[in-house]
Amino acid sequence: MDAGSLLRGMTEAQSQAVQHVEGPLLVLAGPGSGKTRVVTHRIANLLHQGVPDWQIAALTFTNKAADEMQLRLERLAPGREVWMGTFHRFCAQLLRRHAAMVGLKENYSILDAKDSLVAVKRAVQLAGVSTSHTSPERIANEISSAKNQLLTPEILLSQNLNPLRAVAAQVYPVYQRQLLIANAVDFDDLLLHIANLLRQNPEMRQQLDARFRFLMVDEYQDTNLAQYAIVRALSIDHPNLSVTGDPDQSIYGWRGADVNNILDFEKDYPSVTCIRLEQNFRSTPTILAAADHLIQHNRRRKAKRLFTDNLDGEMVVLRHFVNNYQEADGIAEEIIRAMAEDGASLGDFAIFCRTNSLTRSLEHSLRSRSVAYQIVSGVAFYQRAEIKDLIAYLNLINNPDHDVALGRVINTPPRGIGAKTVEHLQRYADQQAIPMLEACREVDQIVDIKKRGKTMIKKFVDMYDLIASKFAVPVMDQLKFVIEKSGYGKHLDAIDKESEGQSRRENVDEFVNAASEYDRKNPEDGSLEGFLEQVALISDTDAFDDSGQAVSIMTLHACKGLEFPRVFIIAVEDHLLPHERSRDDEAQFEEERRLLFVGMTRAEQWLQLSYCKSRAMRGDLRPAIASPFLNELPLQDMRQIESTPRQDWFDNEFDQSSQFDDDMPVFQVSDRGSASSADSSGDDSFDFGANQAAVDEFPEIQQDTSDVQKPADEPSPSEAAKAKAASFLNSVKTAADLATGASAPLTAYRKGSRVMHESYGEGTIVKVSGRGPKCVAKIAFADGEHDFRLAFAKLQLLDD
């Protein structure tokens, strides 16, 4: 491809950016302004100008963004290999080469957030600090933010201001020391170590600066101090740094991102060329105007003018619903309607929400209508217990010092090595400052461990040596060997037999496939180490499949960088968007506004915002209030749809005869209103108004309730009991919704079991009898009919 055709169809501003070769470049790119296109074309142009592949590196925040760029570049400049990837991957690979300089070995492991929390907990114990007024999570958070700001343990100790920081400062050095012993790093360390290396080794910095002569950073508004330091250090002798971003899309302030990095870029590099991409090629003018209207309300902001030549489209919809179930149903219905009438396809739709927990009712509604969906960043595949277990085995093989991994597998499957024994092992390891596997090998030295424990540990070490002896074979073979020899396979089969539900074995098989896929892609340089690195740095957002025929559901954070023809944003309500934890601080409040801005600007043709009158959260039905952001939209130009209230059971007279009305739609059968959700009645933010009325009106029901929940030792109903009664009524309402002949996805507790979510899949309701706590529904499933009883707070499967 020649230089001329690289510019075809580009605006003046775009082609200027593409043609920029030497010197710092700042591209302020509004949403949908063709930023990725500009970046990839610029890389192609650099190559065309004779810049060697290896002198260029493009840093992104997600693997998906990197893959997308890679793909597009391949079309522009086939066969050229430019390094593209996330900040974390970039640092991980550099660190492999220079591990020794920070006291690590090159086979170091990367801890994910969960693993790192485990390590922090251990460090808290060892440091001997009290967590009475804080939690390991908070401490971990504090350490993480310290790392993001490039603060060493020493600095943190010297400037302890608030009590939480002071505690974190005590734990931080202990934690760091343990990570070194375990030959491991956490996510933040990847950046921190590299930033420190670059600062402390001028020679190495110089070399790398020369090596990565042309550096590009995407989403620059989301860089934190560590990332900033790295980028700057690599652009001193060769300041061919090009950054793209949009201050209005900065949504990671909570993670240490600093918008000033982009706002002050011109100060850092006075000779910068600044280009603004303000023309939007994505959305209709109506959508763009609504988003622009909103973002104008941010005070701390660089003024920007967004415009588009696109044709006018439908009005933005602002829709109100009675509750979240209706909201979910309404969206599902709209999707079905748009597909039937407007020729839309499943992949056109996306649903965004503020928090992950909001996806639940959506799932129910879509599944019950057989609308295919994918949840981006839901319960992650790699976070499932069985997958994490296997990864831990592999980690321990690759890095025998990995204590977190050892802690995870030493008694999984059960090998008779109990908590007490592990504790003794850990203490010994801490004393000797050695990894725990080492301690296992020296188990004879540990006086506290009984003979039986010693034998068990020796057996475990033998097993380890066996599975670790297969080093340097394809990862898939290694994995299969582990599954067989560790006894984990048998263990899994036992579990799968025990609980009929989803098969863990299937997940494991999928993981084995992933391993074989890795082997196939890396026939030469494939190694366990590489596989583990890839697995550690993969994010759930990356699993998003845009070719698939499915509706996409994701958080507002996950939607950045994506676009969809039709977008729904749900729960635009106060305390959710803006989130209650971000309401008080103005900077955070503005970030919430940007979050909504990002969501709105993903839409190409059609956009709906919705909010509810009440929303079920944590088992309780809570009143919801419209988001203040809604008043900042051009409402007169939008289509507002009010809810048409369904006959809600507790909104009206309690009419017993109509309880099992056959026409009543089935909403959701679930275990709403759990017994543990009590004691919230004292809280002003809870309103049991409607339910409370029912409680007062039907004392006999309340009597039933207290019978079920408490063995008659409480004389008069407390506020808490009333609240429990209210949520109980909620459950009864659910039973009332069971209409004969309807089909419903059913999730239930198995009687007497702690197993949550025993899913029975789709079933048809054959018969409903009784009511209240005695209500029994007979439901036919593929494997036959089962009776379900709605007991207090739980849907129970009766004995077979």
The site for DNA (CB under 7 A) is made up of 61-62, 86-88, 112-113, 121, 135, 137, 187-188, 251, 254-255, 354-357, 377, 411, 414-421, 450, 452-453, 537, 539-541, 555, 557-558, 579, 581-582, 588, 618-619, 670-672, 674, 676-677, 747, 752-754, 756-757
Angle between helices 699-709 and 719-736 (to 10 degrees): 100
CB of 743 to DNA, least distance (A): 19
Q: Which two tokens stand for residue 117?
A: 């929390």
Q: Which two tokens stand for residue 140?
A: 């971990």
For residue 118, the one-letter residue type is V
- The DSSP secondary structure of 753-766, one letter per residue, reads -----EEEEEEEEE
Taken as a whole, the chain contains a residue count of: 800
Q: What is the separation of C-alpha 521 from the centre of its chain, rounded to a whole number of angstroms?
A: 27
Angle ∠(478,377,390) on CA atoms, nearest 5:
20
321 with 571: CB under 8 angstroms? no
Residue number with CB closer to DNA (66 or 344): 66
- As a dihedral over the C-alpha atoms of residue 135, residue 141, residue 146, residue 150, rounded to 10 degrees, the angle is 150
Residue number with CB closer to DNA (641 or 720): 720
Q: How far apart are CA 744 and CA 489, in angstroms?
A: 34
Residue number with CB closer to DNA (87 or 269): 87
β-strand 551-555 against 603-617: which pairing, if any? unpaired
Residue number with CB closer to DNA (220 or 269): 220
Residue number with CB closer to DNA (87 or 214): 87
366 with 551: CB under 8 angstroms? yes
Beta bridge partners of 626: 573
Tell me the torsion sign for CA atoms 720, 724, 727, 732.
negative
CB of 252 to DNA, least distance (A): 7
368 with 669: CB under 8 angstroms? no
Residue number with CB closer to DNA (546 or 661): 546
CB of 598 to DNA, least distance (A): 12
DSSP state of 444: G
CB of 253 to DNA, least distance (A): 8
Residue number with CB closer to DNA (10 or 720): 720
Q: Which two tokens stand for residue 152?
A: 């060493």
Q: How far apart are CA 604 and CA 554, in angstroms?
A: 17
Q: How far apart are CA 405 and CA 395, in angstroms?
A: 7
- Residues belonging to the active site: 35-36, 218-219, 249, 602
Instruction: Give the residue among 228, 236, 215, 298 at the shortest CA–CA distance from 264.
Output: 228
Q: How far apart are CA 623 and CA 614, in angstroms?
A: 4
Angle between helices 35-48 and 63-76 (to 10 degrees): 50
CB of 413 to DNA, least distance (A): 8
CB of 766 to DNA, least distance (A): 23
Residue number with CB closer to DNA (237 or 586): 586
Tell me the torsion sign for CA atoms 193, 195, 198, 201.
negative
- Which residues have a Cβ under 8 Å from the Cβ of 405 and sit 6 or more positions away? 109, 115, 391, 392, 393, 395, 396, 399
Strands (E), 466-602: 551-555, 564-569
281 with 573: CB under 8 angstroms? no
Residue number with CB closer to DNA (344 or 514): 514
Instruction: Give the residue among 56, 68, 55, 65 at the shortest CA–CA distance from 88.
Output: 65
Angle ∠(541,748,708) on CA atoms, nearest 5:
130
CB of 779 to DNA, least distance (A): 17
Residue number with CB closer to DNA (140 or 603): 140
- Residue numbers in the known binding site are 29-36
- The DSSP secondary structure of 148-171, one letter per residue, reads HTT--HHHHHHT--SHHHHHHHHH
Angle ∠(149,151,155) on CA atoms, nearest 5:
145
CB of 567 to DNA, least distance (A): 16
CB of 374 to DNA, least distance (A): 14
CB of 51 to DNA, least distance (A): 26
- Residue numbers in the known binding site for ATP are 29-36
420 three-class SS: helix
Please state, as a whole number, how many other Cβ atoms lie within 10 Å of the Cβ of residue 196.
17
